[in-house]
Chain A
Amino acid sequence: MNHTTRTHNLARLQDDIREANLSYLMVAQHMIRTDRAEAQLRLGITEEVVDVIDGLTPGQLARVAASNMLVCRFSCDDKIVWDLLAEHGRRDAAAGLHASIVMASRPLEAA
């Protein structure tokens, strides 16, 4: 019983991850094909990775998505940005702008 629940949960988790990966990759590919420069900025990834995602065929995209790891990462790993984003609209009208500036100030990540 315990074992079957575990297998069931694991299968569900893998489904969720695959779906998140698939959405991310499809949105990313669509953005890249619409406006490359803008997409690169919004996605916060290097030109190399942009090329790779752009070149994925639908079959490859599905295979990459079917992994047990998430392919996308947080673009802000700074506590200050999280605090500011969570704060926005509650007390401090400028917190959202503050978070945007701190995020835009950070060097581009070599993914």
Chain B
Amino acid sequence: MKPQRSLVAEARDVERVRTLVKLGARLQLLESVSSLSRERLSRIYKEALGKSPPKGMLPFSTEWFMTWQPNIHSSLFLNLYQRVIKSSDIDDTDALILAYRLYQEQVTMLGHSEALSITRAWCLLRFVSSNMLTLAPCSCCGGRYVVHTYELVKNYRCGLCAPPSRAGKGRAWSSLQNEGQPAVA
């Protein structure tokens, strides 16, 4: 028989899951950060958003994080996340929520839209903890950016200091401003 779980802990779990659902989290994320059953998670999802959670696999490639605009957004999020982890003793899931909110706030204030969904943000954290992705400093501005762990990053220059030729002009520029449908819905 399973040991009895404290009701308070469970209530806290439910509340946290609701917060994540409202931020756009997919079921896979919810399952990994809470101890609630899949059925209960589905119910919470339906109650919070009035629709069933989307089915299907999550993207599992690290390549998305390397493309120009996603890389900028992911780098901002990951820096904020690491700052949250270092500066306080809240747990990983609360840190994910706080860092994602700060990311959202900052991007919105600057007039951009969120290119990084919370599910992608969580995928990024998993890639980092499995040592596939990491942050490396740009030799030009000193900011830290998401890179493949085993890439040569000695004289790395970020996508903002050395934008690829098409970036910052024409469609790429306006897509940075306007587009940003989160790729993982």
Interface residues of A (CB under 8 A from B): 36-38, 40-41, 47, 78, 80, 88-89, 92-94, 96-98, 100-102, 104-106, 108
Contacts and interface: CB of A to CB of B under 8 A. Distances in A.
A78 B102 CA distance: 22
Interface stretch (B47-55, B106-114, B122-130): B106-114
A101 B168 CA distance: 17
B143 A37 contact: no
Interface in B32-73: 72-73
Interface of B: 72-73, 75-76, 79-80, 83-84, 86-88, 90, 94-95, 98, 102, 106-107, 110-112, 135, 137, 141-145, 158, 160, 163, 168, 173, 176-177
A93 B173 contact: yes
Contacts of A88: 110
A88 B160 CA distance: 13
Contact of A37 (B76, B94, B135, B177): B94
Contacts of A98: 72, 141, 143, 160
B110 A41 contact: no
B129 to A, nearest CB: 19
Contacts, number: 80
B137 to A, nearest CB: 7
B86 to A, nearest CB: 6
B112 A97 contact: yes
Contact of A38 (B72, B98, B168): B98
Contacts of B110: 88, 96-97, 100
A108 B160 contact: no
18 contacts: A37-B87, A37-B94, A37-B98, A40-B87, A41-B98, A47-B87, A89-B111, A94-B168, A97-B72, A97-B160, A98-B143, A100-B106, A100-B110, A101-B79, A104-B80, A105-B135, A105-B143, A108-B86
Contact of B160 (A41, A89, A101): A101
Nearest to A88: B110
B162 to A, nearest CB: 12
Contacts of B88: 36-37, 40-41, 47
Contacts of A104: 76, 79-80, 83, 143
